[in-house]
Amino acid sequence: MSSAQETILELRQVTKRYQTRGNILGRGKKEVLALNRISLQVRAGEIFGLVGESGSGKTTAGRLIVGLEKPDEGGIFLNGQDIVGLQGKALRRYRRQVQMVFQDPYQSFNPQVSIMDSVGEPLLTQGVAKGVEREQMVLAALKEAGLSPAESYAFRFPHQLSGGQRQRVAIARAMILEPSLLVADEPTSMLDASYSAQIFDLLLGVRGRLGATVLFITHSLASARYLCDRVAVIYRGNLMEIGPAQEVIRNPRHPYTQALLDATPKFGRCEDIPRFNTLLRAERPAADSGVGCGFFRRCGLAQRARCSMEAPEFRAMGEGHLCACHYAEPGPAQADQGGECHLGA
Amino acid sequence: MTLLDVQNLSIGYQTAEGLLQAVEGVSFSLEAGQSLGLVGESGCGKTTIGMALMGLLPPNGRITGGHVLLNGRDLRELTEEEMRQVRWKEVAMIFQAAMNALNPVQRVGDQMIEAIVEHQPVSKAQARQRVEGLYQLVGMPVERIDDYPHQYSGGMKQRAIIAMALANKPKLIIADEPTTALDVIVQDQILQETKNLQHEFNIGIIFISHDISIVAEVCQTIGVMYAGQLVEIGGAEQVFYDPRHPYTKALVASFPTLAGERKELKPIPGEPPHLINAIMGCRFCDRCPRSEAQCKLDRPAWQQVAAGHHVLCDHC
Distances (CA, A) of A331 to A173, A213, A251, A307, B62: 44, 31, 9, 21, 59
Q: B194 at the A interface (CB within 8 A)?
A: no
User: Strands B91-94 and B172-176, how do they pair?
Assistant: parallel
Burial A209-241 (b: 16+ CB within 10 A, else e): eeebbbbbbbbbbbbbbbbbbbbbbbbbbbbbb
Q: A204 at the B interface (CB within 8 A)?
A: no
- Rounded Cα distance between A257 and A36, Å, is 18
Lowest mean pLDDT among A189-198, A279-288, B150-159, B210-219: A279-288
Q: A198 at the B interface (CB within 8 A)?
A: yes
Q: Residues B192-199: what's their mean pLDDT?
A: 88
Contacts of A24 by beta carbon, 8 Å cutoff, 6+ apart: none
Q: What percent of chain A has pLDDT over 70?
A: 96
Q: What is the pLDDT of residues B284-315, one digit of tens each?
A: 998 998 888 889 889 999 999 999 999 999 98
Helix B154-166 and helix B108-119, axial crossing angle in degrees, nearest 10: 10
A222–B240: do the CB atoms touch at under 8 Å?
A: no
Instruction: Give the CATH number of the domain where residue A7 resides.
Output: 3.40.50.300
Q: What is the pLDDT of residue A23?
A: 72
* CA angle at A242 for the pair A236 and A244, rounded to the nearest 5°: 140
Q: Examine residue A147 and state whether it is found in any structural domain, yes or no.
A: no
Q: What is the pLDDT of residue A3?
A: 45
Q: B30: closest CA among B1, B73, B66?
A: B1
Distances (CA, A) of B10 to B25, B80, B205, B228: 5, 20, 21, 9
Q: What is the mean pLDDT of chain A?
A: 90
Looking at the complex, report in whole angstroms how far the Cα of residue A265 sits from the nearest Cα belonging to chain B: 5
Q: Which domain holds residue A290?
A: 253-345
Query: How big is chain A, counted in residues?
Result: 345
Residues A305 and A190 in one domain: no
Residues A196 and A338 in one domain: no
Distances (CA, A) of A232 to A243, A262, A325: 7, 18, 14
Sign, CA dihedral A251-A253-A259-A260, equals negative
Specify the number of domains making up chain A.
2
Contacts of A324 by beta carbon, 8 Å cutoff, 6+ apart: A238, A239, A240, A241, A254, A293, A311, A312, A313, A314, A315
Q: Examine residue A132 and state whether it is found in any structural domain, yes or no.
A: no
Q: What is the pLDDT of residue A44?
A: 96
* CA angle at B213 for the pair A333 and B245, rounded to the nearest 5°: 115
Looking at A200, A228, A250, which one is the last position of a domain?
A250
Q: Examine residue A56 and state whether it is found in any structural domain, yes or no.
A: yes
Judge whether residue A2 has pLDDT over 50: no
Residues A261 and A331 in one domain: yes
- Rounded Cα distance between B265 and B254, Å, is 5
Picking from A201, A334, A344, the nearest residue to B213 by CB comes out as A344
Q: What is the pLDDT of residue A289?
A: 56
| A228, closest residue in chain B (CA to CA) | B262
Residues A265 and A344 in one domain: yes
Q: What is the three-class DSSP state of A204?
A: helix
Omega within 30 of 0 (cis) for the link into A149 = yes
Q: What is the pLDDT of residues A272-290, one digit of tens each?
A: 888 999 999 878 887 665 6
Task: Show which of residues 129-188 on chain A sit within 8 Å of chain B, judged by CB atoms.
Answer: 162
Contacts of A9 by beta carbon, 8 Å cutoff, 6+ apart: A41, A42, A65, A76, A77, A78, A181, A213, A215
At A199, phi and psi to the nearest 5? -70, -40
Q: What is the pLDDT of residues A320-339, one digit of tens each?
A: 999 999 999 988 776 667 78
Q: Residues B146-164: what's their mean pLDDT?
A: 87
Q: How many CA atoms lie within 13 A of A271 on its CB side?
A: 2
A263–B271: do the CB atoms touch at under 8 Å?
A: no
Q: What is the pLDDT of residues B105-131, one digit of tens each?
A: 999 999 999 989 988 899 999 999 999
Residues A52 and A185 in one domain: yes
Residues A295 and A188 in one domain: no
Residues A215 and A332 in one domain: no
Q: Examine residue A118 and state whether it is found in any structural domain, yes or no.
A: no
Residues A6 and A99 in one domain: yes
Picking from A198, A222, A265, the nearest residue to B256 by CB comes out as A222
Q: A311: closest CA among A12, A61, A37?
A: A37
Helices (H), A98-244: 115-125, 131-144, 150-154, 163-175, 193-210, 221-227
Q: Which residues of B touch A250 (CB under 8 A)?
A: 258-259
Task: Show which of residues 265-284 on chain A sit within 8 Å of chain B, judged by CB atoms.
Answer: 265-270, 273, 279
Please state the ipTM of this predicted complex: 0.84
Q: What is the pLDDT of residues A223-277, one digit of tens each?
A: 999 999 999 999 999 999 999 999 999 999 999 999 999 999 999 888 888 899 9
* HEC readout, A72-126: CEEEEEECCEECCCCCHHHHHHHHHHEEEECCCCCCCCCCCCCHHHHHHHHHHHC
DSSP labels, A265-288: -EEES-TT------B-SSPPPPPS
| B41, closest residue in chain A (CA to CA) | A192
Looking at A209, A235, A250, which one is the last position of a domain?
A250
Q: B260 at the A interface (CB within 8 A)?
A: yes
At B208, phi and psi to the nearest 5? -105, 125
A157 versus B168: which is more confidently predicted?
A: A157
| A222, closest residue in chain B (CA to CA) | B256
Q: Residues B29-51: what's their mean pLDDT?
A: 94
pLDDT category, B178, cuts 50, 70, 90?
A: confident
Q: What residue segments make up the domains of chain B, in order of their start?
A: 246-316
Looking at the complex, report in whole angstroms how far the Cα of residue B189 sits from the nearest Cα belonging to chain A: 8
B256–A343: do the CB atoms touch at under 8 Å?
A: yes
Q: A334 at the B interface (CB within 8 A)?
A: yes
Burial bucket for residue B68 (CB in 10 Å: 0-12, 13-18, 19+)? buried
CA B36: distance to chain centroid?
8
Task: Report yes or no: A201 and A47 within 8 Å, Cβ to Cβ.
Answer: no
- What letter would DSSP give residue A178? -
Q: Which residues of B touch A345 (CB under 8 A)?
A: 211, 213, 255
Task: Report yes or no: B204 and B30 within 8 Å, Cβ to Cβ.
Answer: yes
- Rounded Cα distance between B95 and B176, Å, is 5
Picking from B41, B213, B259, the nearest residue to A338 by CB comes out as B259
Q: Examine residue A271 and state whether it is found in any structural domain, yes or no.
A: yes
Task: Report yes or no: B22 and B61 within 8 Å, Cβ to Cβ.
Answer: yes
Helix B124-137 and helix B154-166, axial crossing angle in degrees, nearest 10: 120
- Rounded Cα distance between A203 and A206, Å, is 5
B212–A193: do the CB atoms touch at under 8 Å?
A: yes
B183–A334: do the CB atoms touch at under 8 Å?
A: no
B90 versus B261: which is more confidently predicted?
A: B90
A250–B258: do the CB atoms touch at under 8 Å?
A: yes
- Rounded Cα distance between B20 and A225, Å, is 39
Q: What is the three-class DSSP state of B211?
A: coil
Q: Residues A151-178: what's their mean pLDDT?
A: 93
- What letter would DSSP give residue B87? B
Q: Which residues of A touch B240 (CB under 8 A)?
A: 267-268, 342
Lowest mean pLDDT among A164-168, A289-293, B142-146, B149-153: A289-293
Contacts of A316 by beta carbon, 8 Å cutoff, 6+ apart: A322, A330
Residues A245 and A268 in one domain: no
Query: How big is chain B, counted in residues?
Result: 316
- Rounded Cα distance between A236 and A56, Å, is 4
- Rounded Cα distance between B69 and A38, Å, is 58
- Rounded Cα distance between A257 and A31, Å, is 26
Q: Which of B41, B140, B157, B184 to mutate to test the interface with A (most CBs of A within 10 A)?
A: B184
Q: What is the mean pLDDT of chain B?
A: 90
Q: Examine residue A207 and state whether it is found in any structural domain, yes or no.
A: yes
Q: Residues B64-87: what's their mean pLDDT?
A: 93
Judge whether residue B248 has pLDDT over 60: yes
Q: Residues A197-226: what's their mean pLDDT?
A: 92
Q: Examine residue A225 and state whether it is found in any structural domain, yes or no.
A: yes
Report CA dihedral (A228, A231, A235, A236) to the nearest 10 degrees: -80
Q: Residues A205-209: what's their mean pLDDT?
A: 89
- Rounded Cα distance between A342 and B266, Å, is 14
* CA angle at A275 for the pair A274 and A281, rounded to the nearest 5°: 170
Q: A181: closest CA among A139, A219, A217, A133?
A: A217
Q: What is the pLDDT of residue B259?
A: 79
A200–B265: do the CB atoms touch at under 8 Å?
A: yes
Residues A99 and A39 in one domain: yes
Q: What is the three-class DSSP state of A159?
A: helix
* CA angle at A118 for the pair A155 and A106, rounded to the nearest 5°: 95
Picking from A192, A200, A337, the nearest residue to B259 by CB comes out as A337
Q: Examine residue A124 and state whether it is found in any structural domain, yes or no.
A: no
Residues A292 and A232 in one domain: no
Q: A97: closest CA among A121, A122, A120?
A: A122
Q: What is the pLDDT of residue A1?
A: 40
Residues A328 and A268 in one domain: yes
